[in-house]
Amino acid sequence: MKGDVPRSLKVSEHSQFDIHSISKLMAQASVVKLEQKNLINRGDKLNKYIPDFPRGNEISIQHLIDNQSGLPRRFSKKHKDLIKKTPEEVVALIKEEKLLFEPGAESLYSNLGYQVLYFIIAKITKKPFVKYLDDEFFKPLNMNNTGAHFHLNKNNLKTYVQNHEKDDGKIVVVSNIENDGKNQTKIYSSTNDLLKFINYVKQEPYRSAMKNSNNSIGWSGGGDGIFCHASAVVDSDYEFVFFSNYDDIPFGEILSTVEKIMTNEKYELPKEINWKGITLKNSTLEKYVGKYNVRAFNNDIFEFKLDRDSLVFYQNGERNTVVIPANDSTFFFEPKEPDHFKFRMTNSGEYQLVFIHKNIELRGNKID
């Protein structure tokens, strides 16, 4: 890495990172364990556990697990000091959100849906979600470097890392705990501890219940200045846990390349990001002009307008920036930044927007 590298970037196999959305994988394992004790059923509707949840008679536990509840990815408006709110207060705010589609009709990654699932697990077990995890998984598996910042009193946070991002070309420290985050999980762990967990859920009854269509069990997560991943292929000796306390990296490419290495497939090492701009005719740029509803990005409206010979990006009505074409359908912001847009033709003949943000594909359908 070129330039000045802060000493705070240094990590080791014993370092403790926040695991972010990997907690969703732990929620799935919790549901399996509770099913074994007949304390929950995937077909149960939310109104069994939260009687006044809007349309709770239609949304099931399985819908929450599969991101098919219709709840949005995140809150539609900012809430002050969200990190300080109790789980009950957070769920009360979730009740105010409108469903983006009929339960079970589509799939849309929903942090809010999993907040509801954490809350239900806590209600069933009569203890905070992270306390249940500690009693049923962390302690039995000797995950001694794992704990949580909230709702769990443990004096084991000894080698906690700092998160970093790039700001005006310099690597800077950013806050690990975001004020707009939610405190039901906020779990920290180490690579060795997560390996213990991922190996444990490769066994039955977790194996059958948690494996995906690729015959693997895993999840990725991240936030400002951090990426994390834990996965295992259930019929092999391949397990992979990855943390980075710096987010200006080709995260998706790294995961894909490591998987190819471990499964003896051909691979190419990720290359440094260095977009090269080209010139497109206005007739090509005009194809992409219009508004796109990016539901997975908080239902934001992304709009593209033609200004002289350039395509200009607007977000929720506010001018953001000129986007630079890399080819006929791909546009970037800055030469060294990974975030970019792609436009794809759908079967209906309309263009669909794909926003690659922090190596996650977020799709938007044209509405105007």
What residue numbers bound the domain in which 361 lies? Answer: 282-366
On whether both 217 and 286 belong to a single domain, the answer is no
1 within a domain of the structure (yes/no): no
101 within a domain of the structure (yes/no): yes
At 217-276, the pLDDT tens digits run 999 999 899 999 999 988 888 899 999 999 888 888 888 889 888 888 999 887 778 899
Q: Which residue did the predictor score with more confidence, 263 or 321? A: 321
220 within a domain of the structure (yes/no): yes
> Read out DSSP for 301-345?
EEEEEEETTEEEEEETTEEEEEEEESSSSEEESSTT---EEEEEE
Query: Cα–Cα distances in Å, from 28 out to 25, 169, 286?
Result: 5, 39, 45
Mean pLDDT, the chain, whole residue set: 93
Q: Report the CATH number that the domain containing residue 20 is assigned in CATH.
A: 3.40.710.10
Contact 343, 288 (CB under 8 A): yes
187 within a domain of the structure (yes/no): yes
Domain boundary among 262, 292, 309: 262
DSSP 8-state symbol, 364: E
267 within a domain of the structure (yes/no): no
pLDDT(60) > 80: yes
On whether both 63 and 208 belong to a single domain, the answer is yes
On whether both 190 and 224 belong to a single domain, the answer is yes
Strands 17-18 and 147-148, sheet pairing: unpaired
On whether both 227 and 347 belong to a single domain, the answer is no
9 within a domain of the structure (yes/no): no
On whether both 45 and 146 belong to a single domain, the answer is yes
Q: Report the CATH number that the domain containing residue 305 is assigned in CATH.
A: 2.40.128
On whether both 258 and 146 belong to a single domain, the answer is yes
Which among 237, 241, 238 is positioned nearest to 229, based on CA atoms? Answer: 241
How many distinct structural domains can be found in the chain? 2
3 within a domain of the structure (yes/no): no
Helices (H), the chain: 22-36, 61-65, 87-94, 111-125, 129-133, 191-200, 206-210, 251-262, 282-285
DSSP lists the bridge partners of residue 240 as: 231
pLDDT of residue 3: 52
